Structure 1
Amino acid sequence: METLTFSATALEKLPVTIFDTPEEGSRRIAHSIAATIREKQKTGEKAVLGLATGSSPIGVYQELVRLHKDENLSFRNVVTFNLDEYYPMQPDALQSYVHFMHEHLFNYIDILPQNIHIPDGSLPIEKVAEFCAAYEQLIEEAGGIDVQLLGIGRTGHIGFNEPGSGLASHTRLVKLDPLTIADATKDFIKEEFVPLRAITMGVGTIMKARKIIMMAWGEGKAPIVREMVEGKISEEVPASFLQQHERVTVILDQWAASELSRIKTPWLVGLVDWDQNLMRRAVIWLSLQAKRPLLKLTDEDYRHWGLTDLLVRVGSAYSLNIQVHNAIQNTITGWPGGKPGSDDSHRPERANPFPKTSLIFSPHPDDDVISMGGTLLRLADQGHDVHVAYQTSGNIAVFDDDAHRFADFTLGLSRKLGIAIPEFHALHAEVEDFLEHKNLGEEDTEIVQSIKSLIRQGEALAACRFCGVKKENVHFMNLPFYETGQVKKKPLGEEDIQAVADLLTKVKPQQIFAAGDLRDPHGTHRVCLNAILEAIARLKHEPWMQDCYVWLYRGAWQEWDIEDIEMAVPISPEELLRKRKAIFKHQSQKDSPVFPGNDKREFWQRAEDRNRATARIYDQLGLTEYEAMEAFKRYHF
């Protein structure tokens, strides 16, 4: 269902439509493109499409494929021009946009091969300029682009037009921004493998399209989306040039829209329909803006910061300050499993039963200790029956060198003990040969995947032992959707959901902890959470589920907004050190993980900085000062 919290405001310089999910937005875009194709078919014309790559358009292409298969949408009258390609890049490379487009769209529709145009990243450098000029000419000869599909990079780039690209820029060879290179690492395994340049349509080329559809999904895009939509036109944010186009539509999911003023601070935009959550959010915002603790906010503060309407609604600052302060105070507990024998009417967790069976789902084999290691330690220390379920093997996040080293170790051990197993020696030779000649992005062999899985399994067991989790309470699920040996995963399937349901039925927990990265539209965390939520939906009528609380934690990169936190677990300096040691048990992820993202800090540093930042905000609001905090939001099913 399409949801628009408010109509477009004067602050928004582009027309924005917000959807609940990326899937809904993608379907809307695909149907808009399909309408253009069908209109052109009626008049015997070609439909010229400008196409994008990356994770954002995948859902659009999936829906176009479905329309072709189920609703007879033909692409025989379609001509396509892709925005860009890495340089240098061979078209048959797994990371090439030629491969991407065929994998996600062209292989499944009836488009004519001669109508497909993608920049050629395999050309010698001296021929690139000539190719770029010819690419522009081909677009002109096709009659210009009817619909241009765009995503936006975190630098504000469209295509590969990085900051500094001008309105008159055309198809050309460009240098990639370091942030863009860091974001591409997930496809190239290591940052040093990412090409430093690309061939891209220019901003001017894009702006010639008769219609432009810009899409963005996920919280990670929210800051740059706000700059594009509400900021001034600037070469520093090339996407802002879209404000000058006559027919552009911006399609967002609710998370990509979360920084827009109408969503983040609607009270600054116009009159709002105040509810308890919005009032709490506004008062927290006011406290942080005014740099005054909640209980010191005055009527004048509310008026000065544009919250006069809220004062009219509640009467005075005094009572509202106390109400919000108490609500936040009640989220703090040192007993994440519930405090036995206590009045739990204002506590986030129930006092009984005690001890509880607590089941912690960890998407990867280290998310548990990184994201909620302090809470895990406290649950075990306080006598609860703690189970940890690792949903995926995490094998692709192990360096090839580590697999090689462990294979050598096992071979050396067999020789040391005088155990001669010809089959094992042959397997070792196979592993050695594969890793020595492995191509970039190539799928690992089954034996290499197994070695990497065992490395991470051993590390997870070591961390659980350190935290006091019994060995029989550690569950390695190895959900099938993940086990591809590549970054690209299979869709969530029935086997995945049933495996989670079976484990829940076996353990019958009174508490479930899960990675609640609902704002991540493409990652493993979201798929793992969907498996859990689907399993819970199937089991919610079971008697043991009637008294089960589900708590969602966040990943190593971000935390819940303060107004969303429903349980905050304080962590002392000593507990923070214990948490760090638990993270250190995951040695293959230490120092430099395979997929570091754009954050160069180690995982333990990210986790500690995030936990300290949460505690610092509670302190700024005038609540008790703690060393660190882990935060949770309850999922109501």
Structure 2
Amino acid sequence: MARLNFLEETRFEKLPVTVYENESIACRKVALRISDIIKSKQRRLENAVLGLATGATPVGVYEELIRLHKEEGLSFKNVITFNLDEYYPMQPDSKQSYVKFMDENLFNHIDIKRDNIHIPDGTLDKEDITNYCLAYEQKISAVGGLDLQILGIGRTGHIGFNEPGSAPNSGTRLVTLDDLTRRDASRDFGGKENVPTKAITMGIGTIFKAREIILMAWNKKKAPIIKKAVEGEISANVPATFLQLAENVEFILDKEAASELTRFDTPWLVKDCAWDEPLIKKAVIWLSGKLNKAVLKLTEEDYNANGMAQLITDQGTAYDINIKVFNKLQHSITGWPGGKPNADDSQRPERAKPAQKRSLIFSPHPDDDVISMGGTFIRLVDQGHDVHVAYQTSGNTAVWDTDVLRYVEFTIDFNKSIGEDTSKLEKTYQKMWKFFEKKKPNDIDLKEIQDVKGFIRKTEAIAGARYAGLQDENIHFMALPFYETGKKVKKPVTKKDVELTKELLQEIKPHQVFTAGDFADPHGTHIVCFNIVLEALNQLRKTEEWTKDCWLWMYRGAWQEFNIHEIEMAVPLSPQEVEKKKHAIFQHQSQKDRPVFPGDDEREFWVRAEERNRETAEAYHKLGLADYEAMEAFVRWKFD
């Protein structure tokens, strides 16, 4: 019976999918399966032939394999590896090469024989590539074929570098990279213009020959393409859908990557549900959107015709359910993000007391505060709360080199105008100029350059916070140590990062903490900063009484927005407040027009924020609520 229920639950899925609680658990499971293959082959005195992938997805697997080697004696002497792909052209000692990636993340840490490592050669002359690719295939066949091929998936649906349009029987070859793939790689190369346009990749037909295929995906960003790959029709437009034809494939996902699969996103379509309040709210909002009808206009026929008959059976009439959900949506809207004084707060998202709260806004980068919650920031100040903002990192990697020269030139001219000696400054300027002339993508800036970039972003942050109404003594620059590497790869979080955060929290003792909850930022800084704040608060909650009255609110906006059913506080903005928020964002001049790290959204940050806030307001209006100009959205973190 349990098996039948599971088959019903997964009936939209066209290939086997295993979902784990988080990436860490999933990586350990995959590493264990690789270890079992290696050991099984060792017992038979045979080689284990592995197809390996690069990118962020398999890094956790490689870390666990290294641990198994160092701590549990797993040997790789009988392992032969073939990597999926390599950029072309690409020198093996380049920072972006997959040769360097594999050495740093796996091969340098295990006892594999170097002759057993095969990675496509990015240094070939173009006329030699065809024969090289045929030889690559022959080498795989000569050692008995791949026992296991591990894969990631790109947002175009590519596996390896088999982009949309690839044939299911394709072999190893030179390919042209999709523009989205190049945009996703742009941070590694210091800009899309530096990303190679081509790559050498194993073909889909080559991958299919593996005796076992595991495709892994982690985090919410991969959820849309995973849904297409698992539940969509087979199409060359999404190459990963060809894996539906394989008999030996398994998708291994974390909960976030699996979140848009039908059994998780709309479970009422595949099984009987335990209808709690959050699920009812989500289902009714989904039904409203599907039918393009306001919540209060939904009928029992609408419920019955769209897989939600059980909800009515369990919970009562459509009318009663509609009223409850509508009221919940209405009660999430407040013009008083710090709580409304002397008001009944039983149906409001924030407490009425104390009337004037201490509010602490954590901003991972120097502009996240005004981009993501600038309207709420301004309103909290205007309504008399003691508002503080803490910039967790300097953001000094996200400033154009030309801005550094311009600011230093200004400083030289200003000092000359007041009769100051500028000889040392001019020497530093010449040193910077010479460095920039020879600088390659992703080279680490000189310390002086890092400092200037940090100063630029600091002055912009001060200007933005002042525009929002803050006094300078309420503006805090934390410069958390994990960030200060001068490059995109950051240090691991240490106790120092948490201690600095605890010290600020202890100093302010806030009633409200706001922190970035949009973890889709391409640099990964937001989730690191969130986890630091969470760890600091969890530690303080064990000993300090004030923390019991401290609420933690998450904001989004720069990279994504909360789904409507998730929102617990929606702060409406008037046209005038939208304009004021925009001008607060404008204080960050180094990020205007064209930021250094725009991600895959070509819009300027102020445009993204403005349009997302309007879209949130429109979504509420379509559900049957008031028609506001814009809304900023928040979700409250629930402590254990």
Bin the TM-score by the shorter chain.
Answer: over 0.9
Q: What is the deviation of 1:417?
A: 2.6
Measure, in 1, the Cα distance between the counterparts of 2:30 and 2:350: 43
Is 202-211 or 243-252 further displaced after alignment?
Answer: 243-252
**Is 2:370 aligned against 1:366?**
no
Match of 1:545 in 2: 547
Residue 124 of structure 2 aligns with an amino acid whose one-letter code is L
Whether contact under 8 Å (1:22, 1:521) holds in the other structure is no
Match of 1:342 in 2: 343
| Correspondence 1:195-594 to 2 at 5 A | 195-518=196-519, 523-541=524-542, 542-594=544-596
Residue 411 of structure 1 aligns with an amino acid whose one-letter code is I
Q: What is the deviation of 1:422?
A: 3.9
Measure, in 2, the Cα distance between the counterparts of 1:588 and 1:103: 34
Measure, in 2, the Cα distance between the counterparts of 1:5 and 1:636: 30
Whether contact under 8 Å (1:218, 1:521) holds in the other structure is no
Q: What is the deviation of 1:334?
A: 0.3
**In the TM superposition, what whole-angstrom CA distance separates every residue of 1:208-231 from its partner, at most 9, and x where no partner exists?**
111111011111111110111011
**In the TM superposition, what whole-angstrom CA distance separates every residue of 1:523-560 from its partner, at most 9, and x where no partner exists?**
11111111111111101131110101100012412111
Residue 608 of structure 1 aligns with an amino acid whose one-letter code is E
Measure, in 2, the Cα distance between the counterparts of 1:498 and 1:108: 32
Measure, in 1, the Cα distance between the counterparts of 2:557 and 2:570: 15
Q: What is the deviation of 1:280?
A: 1.1
**In the TM superposition, what whole-angstrom CA distance separates every residue of 1:502-528 from its partner, at most 9, and x where no partner exists?**
111111111000011356797111111
**In the TM superposition, what whole-angstrom CA distance separates every residue of 1:577-634 from its partner, at most 9, and x where no partner exists?**
0111011111111011111111111111111111011101110111111000000000
Residue 506 of structure 2 aligns with an amino acid whose one-letter code is T
- What's the secondary structure of 2:39's corresponding residue? helix
Measure, in 2, the Cα distance between the counterparts of 1:478 and 1:11: 47
Q: What is the deviation of 1:192?
A: 0.9
**In the TM superposition, what whole-angstrom CA distance separates every residue of 1:460-489 from its partner, at most 9, and x where no partner exists?**
001011001111111111111111111111
| Correspondence 1:57-76 to 2 at 5 A | 57-76=58-77
Match of 1:613 in 2: 615
**Identical-pair percentage:** 57
Measure, in 2, the Cα distance between the counterparts of 1:432 and 1:470: 36
Structure 1 segments, 4+ long, off by >4 Å, are: 4-8, 518-522
Whether contact under 8 Å (1:557, 1:610) holds in the other structure is no
Match of 2:177 in 1: 176
Is 63-72 or 577-586 further displaced after alignment?
Answer: 63-72
| Structure 2: tracts of 5 or more residues without a match | none
**Is 2:126 aligned against 1:125?**
yes
Whether contact under 8 Å (2:394, 2:454) holds in the other structure is yes
- What's the secondary structure of 1:249's corresponding residue? strand
Q: What is the deviation of 1:5?
A: 9.7
Q: What is the deviation of 1:411?
A: 2.3
Q: Structure 1 residues 463 and 522 mapped into 2: Cα distance closer, same or farther (>3 Å)?
A: closer
**In the TM superposition, what whole-angstrom CA distance separates every residue of 1:332-352 from its partner, at most 9, and x where no partner exists?**
000000111111111111111
Measure, in 1, the Cα distance between the counterparts of 2:9 and 2:234: 18
| Correspondence 1:92-171 to 2 at 5 A | 92-171=93-172
Q: What is the deviation of 1:270?
A: 2.2
Measure, in 2, the Cα distance between the counterparts of 1:547 and 1:497: 20
Whether contact under 8 Å (2:518, 2:559) holds in the other structure is no
Residue 386 of structure 2 aligns with an amino acid whose one-letter code is D
**In the TM superposition, what whole-angstrom CA distance separates every residue of 1:142-186 from its partner, at most 9, and x where no partner exists?**
221111110001111000000110111001000111111111111
Measure, in 2, the Cα distance between the counterparts of 1:39 and 1:371: 52
Measure, in 2, the Cα distance between the counterparts of 1:520 and 1:212: 30
Measure, in 2, the Cα distance between the counterparts of 1:80 and 1:405: 49
Q: Structure 1 residues 411 and 521 mapped into 2: Cα distance closer, same or farther (>3 Å)?
A: closer
Match of 1:34 in 2: 35
Measure, in 2, the Cα distance between the counterparts of 1:146 and 1:189: 36
Measure, in 1, the Cα distance between the counterparts of 2:546 and 2:510: 8
Equivalent residue pairs, number: 634
Residue 74 of structure 1 aligns with an amino acid whose one-letter code is S
**In the TM superposition, what whole-angstrom CA distance separates every residue of 1:51-109 from its partner, at most 9, and x where no partner exists?**
11111111111111122222122212111111111111111111111111112111211
Residue 97 of structure 1 aligns with an amino acid whose one-letter code is Y
Whether contact under 8 Å (1:159, 1:201) holds in the other structure is yes
Measure, in 2, the Cα distance between the counterparts of 1:591 and 1:5: 51
Residue 616 of structure 2 aligns with an amino acid whose one-letter code is T
Measure, in 2, the Cα distance between the counterparts of 1:232 and 1:292: 29
Whether contact under 8 Å (1:481, 1:496) holds in the other structure is yes
Residue 56 of structure 2 aligns with an amino acid whose one-letter code is S
Residue 234 of structure 1 aligns with an amino acid whose one-letter code is S
Whether contact under 8 Å (1:344, 1:350) holds in the other structure is yes
Measure, in 1, the Cα distance between the counterparts of 2:469 and 2:498: 28
Measure, in 1, the Cα distance between the counterparts of 2:597 and 2:118: 32
- What's the secondary structure of 1:622's corresponding residue? coil
Measure, in 2, the Cα distance between the counterparts of 1:557 and 1:481: 22
Is 607-616 or 265-274 further displaced after alignment?
Answer: 265-274
Whether contact under 8 Å (1:171, 1:200) holds in the other structure is yes
Residue 31 of structure 2 aligns with an amino acid whose one-letter code is A
Over the aligned positions, Cα root-mean-square deviation in angstroms equals 1.5
Residue 630 of structure 1 aligns with an amino acid whose one-letter code is E
Measure, in 1, the Cα distance between the counterparts of 2:400 and 2:29: 40
Is 548-557 or 415-424 further displaced after alignment?
Answer: 415-424
Residue 553 of structure 2 aligns with an amino acid whose one-letter code is W
| Structure 1: tracts of 5 or more residues without a match | none
Whether contact under 8 Å (2:416, 2:422) holds in the other structure is no
Residue 489 of structure 1 aligns with an amino acid whose one-letter code is K
Q: What is the deviation of 1:6?
A: 8.9
Measure, in 2, the Cα distance between the counterparts of 1:63 and 1:39: 18
Measure, in 2, the Cα distance between the counterparts of 1:520 and 1:141: 43
Match of 2:603 in 1: 601
Residue 341 of structure 1 aligns with an amino acid whose one-letter code is N
Q: Structure 1 residues 578 and 5 mapped into 2: Cα distance closer, same or farther (>3 Å)?
A: farther
Q: What is the deviation of 1:312?
A: 0.9
Residue 18 of structure 1 aligns with an amino acid whose one-letter code is V
* TM-score normalised by structure 1 residue count: 0.97
Whether contact under 8 Å (2:518, 2:560) holds in the other structure is no
